[in-house]
Structure 1
Amino acid sequence: MTDALDQAKRALRAELRERRQQLSDAQRAAAAEGVRAQLDALVTARGARSVSCFLSSPTEPGTRPFIEAAIARGIRVLLPITREDGLLDWTVASPGGEEVVGALGVPEAVGEVLGPIAVNDVDLMIIPAAAIDRSGMRLGWGRGFYDKTLGSMDRRPPVYAVIYDSELVDSLPRDVHDQPVTGVVTPTRTLDLPADT
């Protein structure tokens, strides 16, 4: 990655973090309910019986209401556990499951570790992002966990990133390792995107 590209990404991430931190508790609660409704509809439309998701941090669009609702519907939900080598292990979500703060300061589920290839069997991946552009390119938070995971999959299921409405942008700085997504889920809509691969 060039220095200019790295600096552009860092500046954009800092701006997005600041915007997220300025949201009120009421705005966050409304966003979480909107995300739950959008993800419920997406899972139904895709006929997904097994999904991967993530435990949202306090400033991310909330995923916990969706995770609890999916478990109650009998959907198998895998949650990520970060590894030192940059890959993700997975564990099965359980109702009211235990959480810890992971090595990167984000919430992670506690459970039986299934290993990186467990995600190969899901029908749908739901991942975090800082922003997505209209070609489907994703800006993550700079650690590369999801780019490595997506880049290593032989058969990738549909991948949807959860963001706030304002984080769908016209274009993003991109590097060769950046992985596209199938679409975005925001508190108000679900949008399929023409991945630019």
Structure 2
Amino acid sequence: MSDGIDDAKRALRAELRERRQLLSDQARTTAEEGVHRQLDALLARTDVRSISCFLSTPTEPGTRSFVNAAIERGIRVLLPVTRIDGLLDWTVATPDGDVTDGLFGLPEPVGELLGPIAVNDVDLLVIPAAAVDHRGMRLGWGRGYFDKTLGSMERCPPVYAVIYDSELIDEVPRDVHDQPVSGVVTPTQTIVLSPQRH
């Protein structure tokens, strides 16, 4: 990664992290309700049987109520678990399942680990992001877990990043290993993008 791209990513992440930390509890609650509605509608349009999602941190647009509702609807939901080798492992979500702190102190599910390739069987991936641009390029939080996962999938299904409305921006700094997404889900809208695979 070139120093210029690395610096630009670091600066943008810091700005976005600060913006998220300034949100009120009410704004977070409203965002989670909106994301839940948008993701429910996406599932209804795409008729999926199995998805991957993530357990949101307190500053991310909330996904937990959606995960529980998807399980209740009979959808198989895989949740990521970070590994020391830089790959994501996966476990099946259970209603109000146990959560622990993962490698980086972020919330992760407790459950039987299925291995990194388990995600190859899902119909839709719902992933976190710091920002996404109009070309579908995603800025993650810098550890590369989701870029590695997406880059290694044989048949990658649609990938939607969950962000706040203000985090759909004109351009995300891009490096060669960065993977695009198919669309974004925000508290107010779901947008299909036309990512350029490289």
Q: TM-score, normalised by structure 1?
A: 0.99
Q: Which runs of 4+ in 1 moved over 6 A?
A: none
How many residue pairs match? The answer is 197
2:58 corresponds in structure 1 to 58
Gaps in structure 1 of 5+ consecutive residues: none
Give matches, 1:173-188, under 5 Å: 173-188=173-188
Deviation per CA, 1:49-76: give whole Å up to 9, x if none.
Answer: 1000000000000000100110110000
Gaps in structure 2 of 5+ consecutive residues: none
2:122 corresponds in structure 1 to 122
> Alignment RMSD, CA only?
0.4
Q: Secondary structure at the match of 1:100?
A: strand
Q: Secondary structure at the match of 1:126?
A: strand
2:155 corresponds in structure 1 to 155
Q: Secondary structure at the match of 2:17?
A: helix
1:39 corresponds in structure 2 to 39
Deviation per CA, 1:113-138: give whole Å up to 9, x if none.
Answer: 00000000000000000000000000
Q: Secondary structure at the match of 2:111?
A: coil
- The amino acid that maps onto 2:131 is A
* Distance in structure 2 (CA, Å) of the matches to 1:85 and 1:8: 26
* Distance in structure 1 (CA, Å) of the matches to 2:79 and 2:50: 11
* Distance in structure 1 (CA, Å) of the matches to 2:52 and 2:12: 27
Q: Between the two proteins, what is the percent identity of the paired residues? A: 71
2:99 corresponds in structure 1 to 99
1:172 corresponds in structure 2 to 172
* Distance in structure 1 (CA, Å) of the matches to 2:170 and 2:10: 18
2:12 corresponds in structure 1 to 12
Q: Secondary structure at the match of 1:54?
A: coil
2:194 corresponds in structure 1 to 194
Deviation per CA, 1:81-137: give whole Å up to 9, x if none.
Answer: 000111000000001100001111210000000000000000000000000000000
Q: Secondary structure at the match of 1:141?
A: coil
Cα deviation, residue 196, structure 1: 1.7
